[in-house]
A and B are shown apart, each in its own frame.
Chain A
Amino acid sequence: MNEKVKTYYKNNFLYAGHRMVLPISGEKFRNSCDQCKYYVNVIGQHETKRICLYGVKTYRTGSKRVPNSIEIIDLILLLGKEALQGMLTRDGQHQMACGNFEQDFRKRY
């Protein structure tokens, strides 16, 4: 097999040439929750964890600006302790971004 053919296979050209990806899904394939504006730090008494705020209506609808970080006491007031505990157990940091992904431009600029 000659070098050109090897390079063709190595660079995945057979598939890259036929690939059809919607812009909206391409963005999600490329990013993880970490780059999402809804994925924020929750500051607790002893540790800081990350949580997705898309489930909170106030932030989802844009009535309130999604903060970079939020105090745990504020979240407890918003969600209740039980719901918050459930959300904190899910770790999406390295997961592929979901359909609600919104690029966090504050991190970019």
Chain B
Amino acid sequence: MGRTILLCDMNSFFASVHQAINPALRGKPVVVGGDPAKRTGIVIAASIEAKRPFGIKTGMAIAEARALCPQAIFVSPSYRDYAAFSSRINNILKDFSDLVEPYSIDESFVDVTGTLHLFGTPLEVAQQIQSRINHEIGVGVNIGIGPSKLVAKMAAELEKPNKIISLSLEDWPKVIWPLPVKELFGVGSRIGRWLNMIGVCTIGELARLPVEQLRKRYGVMGEILHFSAHGIDFSPVNPGSLEVIKSVGNQITLPRDYRGYSQTQVVILELAEEVAQRARKAGYIGRRVTLTLKDPNFITEAHSMVLPEYTDITQEIYEAGILLMKKYWDPQVIVRLVGLTLSELIKGRGKQMDLFARREKLERIDRATDLIRSRWGHNSIKRAISMTQLGVYYERKG
């Protein structure tokens, strides 16, 4: 029996959440963006009223968006609200099937194959989901229906907003093949460039390309591309796909350029605290630390090192970050963005103890900090240096 998969894609999610929370914003052009004073002044999301008539797009500079639509209402992002809305939406989806896979904050796959006898035809299920999300959450949703995740995903992109689109494999060549090859899910900019270079411009042309040619160039991925172009996808809807974390990382754009080791190390410490705490929360320890620095010319450089032991200790991650900075960057380095990542993660808390119990002491400090923050909030305890003008992270986290 064939599968029935739905892809629920929220329309202009971030902006819609602000409109749902504040009814005064409904029907008006709303732009969610950063703060130009903190050099994060780009459009993160725009409502349908701002996108269509004024041409405001995600990633555009705030100043540019303001010029295009002076009457737009600019709001700051509120990630806590987005996460709250996303959870509520996923809980609605779970009423229709236990196979719900959150794909991103505003997209989820639902496999309703086994529950169709309870709720009706795929179209009826989609209508019920759409109606509940519209009325209970207050945001618009596009729902793609297909026999696989790929077909459902491609269907949901065909027409917006607040539409239900059903696509079958029989209709795939007629509807999908004329589209540009870059619109096929899984084709990134690099593959897209190569395909264009060899004269493949549409998905149909990709489907007709010999699979051997793709396999020779991209190996397994080449074969997957061939199947995808034909609408074939065997990927399961896996509700636990987010349970495995591969890395924990954070990065921050600085409000002004930082110069030299002494200034940058404050930000590395703040990031190390955040990264280590997130790893501890999820119950992971890792041993590869990667430091990323971006200079004022937007040139990004990243270096990593493997620690002798797996860790989730703030101090050890911080020290690794400092080691990397001193090894690979100039003492007079000018920095616009700092990123720190802990990877090669494993589950568990078993750690190698050291002879002088330094690790135990550091662990106790981290544990105490976690417990204080758990009760009093993230900003209740800070490093003294974060209170100086060099500290940025806590201020931004609010």
Contact = CB atoms under 8 A, between A and B. Distances in A.
Interface string A31-67: 0000001000000000000000000000000100110
Interface string B58-96: 000000000000000000000111111111101100100
15 contacts: A2-B223, A5-B223, A9-B235, A12-B238, A19-B241, A21-B102, A25-B83, A25-B86, A28-B83, A30-B243, A30-B282, A37-B374, A98-B84, A99-B87, A99-B88
Nearest to B186: A14
B224 interface: yes
A68 to B, nearest CB: 13
Interface string B218-246: 00100110011000011110100111010
Given A12-B241, A19-B104, A22-B79, A29 B90 contact: yes
Interface string A85-101: 00000000001111111
Contacts of B242: 21, 26, 29-30
B236 A24 contact: no
Given A21-B242, A24-B79, A12 B104 contact: no
B103 interface: yes
Interface residues of A, number: 42
B370 interface: yes
> What is the interface residue range for chain B against chain A?
35 or more
B281 A4 contact: no
B90 A96 contact: yes
A8 B281 contact: no
A14 B265 CA distance: 37
B318 to A, nearest CB: 19
B102 A62 contact: no
Contacts of A10: 234, 236
A71 B83 CA distance: 31
Contacts of B81: 99
A12 to B, nearest CB: 5
B356 interface: no
Given A5-B227, A25-B105, 7 more contacts: A14-B149, A18-B185, A19-B241, A24-B80, A62-B377, A66-B375, A95-B91
B57 interface: no
Interface in B354-398: 367, 370-371, 374-377
Interface in B202-224: 220, 223-224
Contact of A15 (B83, B86, B235): B235
B57 to A, nearest CB: 18
B132 interface: no
Contacts of A15: 101, 103, 149, 235, 241
A77 interface: no
Contacts of A95: 91, 94
Nearest to A100: B84
A4 B80 contact: no
A98 B282 contact: no
A27 B281 contact: yes
Contacts of A5: 220, 223-224, 227
Contacts of B87: 25, 28-29, 96-99, 101
A14 B224 contact: yes
Nearest to B349: A108
A28 B86 contact: yes
A29 B102 contact: yes
Contacts of A96: 87, 90-91, 94
B235 A12 contact: yes
A4 B223 CA distance: 10
A43 B389 CA distance: 49
Nearest to B100: A96
A43 B81 CA distance: 31
B36 interface: no
Contact of A20 (B86, B104, B367, B377): B104
A32 B371 CA distance: 20
A31 to B, nearest CB: 9
Nearest to A109: B367
Contacts of A100: 84
A23 B224 contact: no
Interface in B100-135: 101-105
